Amino acid sequence: NAGVTQTPKFRVLKTGQSMTLLCAQDMNHEYMYWYRQDPGMGLRLIHYSVGEGTTAKGEVPDGYNVSRLKKQNFLLGLESAAPSQTSVYFCASFTYGGRVAGEQFFGPGTRLTVL
């Protein structure tokens, strides 16, 4: 069981470039989340998904798009990167079965720098 994996681990972009971050989980979880972590601001929810084919906006969705075509994968896209999107991005997943929605499993993170 690999748990939650994220690809890539590091990336440097120039302003205006696009990229996609991949999150994969092998735990058959229904719920998946994308967060960004910035110093002094904690984690903020970007988008989330409650199942294959569904997505919903979180607290800070502007500038990002997501897709959940397969249950195990949740993609986060930046169409035109901006320096304000420099951050560490975390993916998380969750399923019920004795748990509540706050008990999430996190990936190792992707450190993105936009120049």
Partner 1 sequence: AQSVAQPEDQVNVAEGNPLTVKCTYSVSGNPYLFWYVQYPNRGLQFLLKYITGDNLVKGSYGFEAEFNKSQTSFHLKKPSALVSDSALYFCAVSPSGYSTLTFGKGTMLLVSP
Among 14, 40, 62, 97, binds partner 1 (CB under 8 A): 40
> What DSSP state is assigned to residue 16?
T
98 binds partner 1, rule: CB under 8 A: no
Mask of contacts with partner 1, 60-89, x by CB under 8 A? ------------------------------
97 binds partner 1, rule: CB under 8 A: no
Round to whole Å and give the CA distance between 108 and 57.
22
> What DSSP state is assigned to residue 4?
E
Round to whole Å and give the CA distance between 48 and 31.
7
100 binds partner 1, rule: CB under 8 A: yes
Closest CB 35 distance from partner 1, rounded Å = 8
Closest CB 16 distance from partner 1, rounded Å = 29
DSSP characters for 62-75?
TT-EEE-SSTTEEE
Among 13, 78, 92, 112, binds partner 1 (CB under 8 A): 92
| Chain contacts with partner 1 (rule: CB under 8 A) | 4, 33, 40-45, 48, 58-59, 90, 92, 100-109
